[in-house]
Amino acid sequence: MDTESSTTPAPLLEVKDLRTYFYTRSGTGRAVDGVSFTLKQGESLGLLGESGCGKSMTSLSILRLVPRPAGRIVSGQVLFRGRDLLRISEQDMRRVRGKEIAMILQDPLSTLNPVFTIGNQVAEPLRVHGVVSRSRLWERVSKLLSLVRIPAPESRLKDYPHQFSGGMRQRVVGATAIAAGPRLLIADEPTTSLDVTIQAQYLRLLKELQRESNLSIIYITHDLATLARICDRVAVMYAGKIVEQLTVEALFERPAHPYTEALLQSVPRMDRKVHRFASIEGSPPVVYDLPPGCAFAPRCPKAMDICRSESPPATRIGADHHVSCWLHEKDEHESHAAGSQERQ
C-alpha cells in the first residue's frame, strides 16, 4: 500500500486536458487547448497572461457556461471533489453553480441587474439553494454586506446598483458569490474597476474570507502585483495553453519560460532608472489561426527551428515547477545523457 498517497488529500479540483473550441465562419478557434492543473482545498491559484490567452474561457468551461452555439467543450475532465462536472446533468450542474463553485465576473455593472435591489440580488443564491430559512433571509443578507465592508448594510438593502460606487458594487458582487458558502471561488479580474486603495482593501478581504472558510480561489489576472498578494501558485497561459506552472516565489525569482520572463520585464521597477520600458514585440495569435509549433515562437527572442514546427511538451524542472519550452526539454535531455555517460 502506498502510504504517501493514502495520507495526501485528494485535490478539490482537477482539470485534465480540457479543450474548448469555437466553431465559426472564420474557422475553429482553440480557445482552451489542453489545459491541465490541480487545486487543493484552501489554496489560491493564479491564471496569468495577456488578454485573449484563454483565462476567462477556462473558468467558464469549468462552470459549463461556454457561450453557445459557437462554443463547445470538446474533451477533457473537470473533476470537482472526485466528480466529473462535464458528465453530470444540467440540473445537477445548477446545484453546483453558486453553492459549491461561485464566480466573480470582471464588470460588476454587467453582473448586477439594474432593476432589482441589492438586497434581492444578494439573497437570490440563498433562496435558490435553500441555505437559510425565509425568516432569517434578510438577517443573513445584512451580515454578508457587512462582511464585505458595506457601511450601514440594513439601510442599503433596498438600494439599486446605480446608487453604489464602483468599489461598493464590486464588493456586492463578492457578497453574492460567497452567499451560499462555496468551496471554490473563481475571481475573474475582480479589481479591474477599483482604485489602488480600494483594490488593496478588496484583496485583503478575499484573503480574510479564505482563511475563515478554508476557501479555494482561482484568481484570473494580468496584474502581477495583485497576483503576488493573493496566490500560492501560478499557471501562465498563452494561446489557450498553460506554458508554465510554478509557485509565486519561483515566478519572481526564477521564471523559466521566455513568455513569463517577458511579462516580468514589462513591469515598471521603482528601484532602477529606465529610459524605455520593456515590451513584448507583436501580439498574441488569433485562436482561429494559430502558428505551427510553439504559439509564442513568432514573438520569442530565443526561438529555435524546432519551436516553429513542433509544440513542446511539459517538462518538470523542479518541485511544483513545470514548463513547456524546447529550451528546457533540450537541457533535460543533455543532463540525462551526461548522467548516462558518467554511469558507464
Q: Model's pTM, two decimal places?
A: 0.89
pLDDT at 192 over 90: no
Three-state SS across 250-291?
A: HHHHCCCCHHHHHHHHCCCCCCCCCCCCCCCCCCCCCCCCCC
Asked whether the CA dihedral 57, 59, 62, 65 is positive or negative, the reply is negative
Q: pLDDT tens digits, residue range 86-122?
A: 999 999 999 999 999 999 987 777 789 999 999 999 9
For range 242-269, the mean pLDDT? 92
pLDDT at 34 over 80: yes
Domains, the chain = 8-343 (3.40.50.300)
pLDDT for position 337: 39
The mean of the pLDDT values for the chain is 88
pLDDT at 339 over 50: no
Burial class (CB in 10 A: 0-12, 13-18, 19+), 229: middle
Provide the β-strand partners of residue 28: 23
pLDDT at 227 over 50: yes
Q: How confident is the model at residue 159 (pLDDT cuts 50, 70, 90)?
A: very high
Q: Do the beta carbons of residue 238 and residue 250 sit within 8 Å?
A: no
pLDDT at 15 over 80: yes
Residue with C-alpha cell 453558486? 98
pLDDT for position 256: 95
Q: pLDDT tens digits, residue range 274-303?
A: 667 777 888 889 888 899 999 999 999 999
Question: What is the percentage of the chain residues whose pLDDT exceeds 90?
Answer: 64
Distance in angstroms (rounded) separating the CA atoms of residues 220 and 103: 11
Q: pLDDT tens digits, residue range 201-216?
A: 888 888 888 888 889 9
pLDDT for position 101: 96
